[in-house]
Structure 1
């Protein structure tokens, strides 16, 4: 194949141009620290870089969500600890109120203490997080969830909405619990049915706690009333089914079987005809504010004679059972909150590791490897210099250089 002088010169010039372009590209990488300035530099790498960049952005958002969720849960955890402390103080006061040596004035003072603790509990129920959002308002996070109505009773104006935060591509975590769940509900496991005596009772009957004989009996979730037709006879009514038993003979301290036999209760003292008692499932008597109002009213009522003492005993026993159910409910929710906190902390570790790996992979694709590029730059520079020197020598040669010889 015959190569003309023009072709030869053109090939050499093109080679040197290419080397100079390569040097310019390598110099740009060295000066900017970026090895992938345009997609044309590395089309495959550019596509991978786009994917890694999107993945990094997503992981960054999940990390931000995790921080937000953890902050909210930590605020609720702290609030629930304070609520438990107040409820424990209330329990101590109610137990103290049962001291037989106290008089009406002493019990009235305890009622005043309970009123202050009730107000403190309501303040916690209207607590906010670091952003000023109400912890227990559900979706109504901008308005106080609890308020005092015209009757003096506490009302819940929040909703049942549970706020979730997306913390990974496949996991959303509840970052709050509603006021209804915390203050107006009762966790079934560990809670007890609530026994109570009517405030209008004229006898000296005092009802004890509920004994569970069969925890699987479906009637345990029914409400029952025990109505004394005389001082010696009573009937048991299942409110859920509206069925009443045949009259039964009353013996003080003897268990009274409820429903299908899953529960029983004892009554001591001497009830009068017309007196009534009730057994209510924990979930139906779980408004902590209403329960506090009831025991405060009972302590403010003079305990006159044996009947007054019996009614006070019933009120205090009822209040203690209700309060224990509330404490159990708060503890259950706080345990759940703690579990969610631990899960987020574990996810934070995984997300941070994935984010660092993504950043490393993206850097490998887009950032200049100084050792490698400097080596390439030096080699290309030497090659260009050699080509330039060789071409300079060759272009001086001609046929006339040989004629004289």
Structure 2
């Protein structure tokens, strides 16, 4: 195969043009710091870069969502701690009110203190997060969830919607609880049956704490009523089943009265017509504000007789159990909130690690490796200079230089 002078010149010029183009491309990478400026630079790498960029954007959004969810949960956690503190203070006052040495004026003062604690609880129930959203309003986050009606009763105007935030591709986390869940419900675990005496009792009978004698008994979820037909005889009715729970029995003060899988004692001297109830926690009144209003009213009622003192003692015992159930519910919710906080913090660490790895992979594809590119630039520059020098020497040669020597 013969190569003409024009072909030879053309090949050398093309080679030097290619080397100059390579030098220009490498110089552009060095000056800009970007090795993948257009898809044509590396089509496969460009596709990977688009995918990594989308992944980075998604991870960034998840990180933002995690920060938002964590802030909401931390605000709720702080609020629940304050609520627990108020409920504990209420319980302390209820125990104090049971001191038999107090007079009606003393109990009236305690009622006033309880009213103040109720107002504190109301303020916490209408608490907001850093964004001004009401913590316990459900989806109605821009409206106060609790208000007082004309009769002085607390009403809930929020809903039962629970806000969720997507924190990973496969995990959404609840960022709050409703007012019903916190202030008008109780936890199934750890709550106690609620004993109560009728406010119309005329005797001095006082209902004691309910003891569970058989945790497996299905009747533990039944409501029972103890009715005194005389001062010495009583009957028990399974209100839930709607049937008598055995024949009439003889009363002895302080003796255990069996109620299926539970038992209770009554001290003092009940009169005929007096009645007492034992209600499963979930079936009793679980509205903390209504329960507080009830015991405040009982404390404001002068106890001027043995029956009045007994009714007050029964009301205090009922309120103490109700408040303890509410406190148990708040503690259970706070434990759940703390668990979600820990989960988000763990997810934040994972998301940050994935984001850093994605950024590193994207940088490897799109950013200039200075050491590598400088080396390539230097080698290409040397090659171009050698080609230019060689071509310059060869093009000066002529056949006449070898004739007539």
Instruction: Trace 1:94-133 onto structure 2 (pairs within 5 A).
Output: 94-133=94-133
What's 1:257 paired with?
Answer: 258
TM-score of the aligned structures, taking structure 2 as reference length: 0.97
Q: How does 1:5-404 map to 2 (within 5 A)?
A: 5-245=5-245, 246-258=247-259, 261-284=260-283, 285-404=285-404
Instruction: In structure 2, list runs of 5 or more residues that go unmatched.
Output: none
Aligned residues: 403
Q: Deviations over 1:105-145 (max 9, x none)?
A: 11111101100100100100010000011111111111111
Secondary structure of 2:100's partner?
coil
Could you list the per-position Cα deviations for residues 267-293 of structure 1 after superposition, in whole angstroms to 9, with x for gaps in the alignment? Answer: 111111211111111123221111101
Secondary structure of 2:265 counterpart: strand
Structure 1 SS opposite 2:210: strand
Which secondary structure does the structure 2 equivalent of 1:209 belong to? coil
- More moved, 174-183 vs 236-245: 236-245
d(CA) in 1 for partners of 2:178 and 2:220? 26
| Partner SS, residue 167 of structure 1 | strand
* Matched position secondary structure for 1:381: helix
- State the distance in 1 between where 2:347 and 2:371 align: 37
Which digits, 9 at most, give the CA deviation of each residue in 1:341-389, with x for residues without a partner?
Answer: 1111111111111111111111111000111111111111111111111
CA RMSD of aligned residues (A): 1.1
Deviation at 1:404, TM superposition (A): 4.2
For residue 199 of structure 1, give the secondary structure of its aligned residue in structure 2. Answer: coil
Supply the distance in 1 between the matched residues of 2:76 and 2:142 (Cα, whole angstroms).
16
Alpha-carbon displacement from aligned partner over 1:325-355 (angstroms, at most 9, x marks no partner):
1111111111111111111111111111111
In the alignment, the residues of structure 2 paired with residue 237 and residue 160 of structure 1 have an alpha-carbon distance, to the nearest angstrom, of 35
Partner-residue secondary structure (3-state), 2:391: helix
| TM-score with structure 1 setting the length | 0.97
Cα separation, 2, equivalents of 1:159 and 1:281 = 26
Q: How far apart, CA to CA, are the structure 1 residues paired with 2:299 and 2:150?
A: 22
Mapped partners of 1:227, 1:153: distance in 2: 31
1-structure distance, mates of 2:143, 2:49: 46
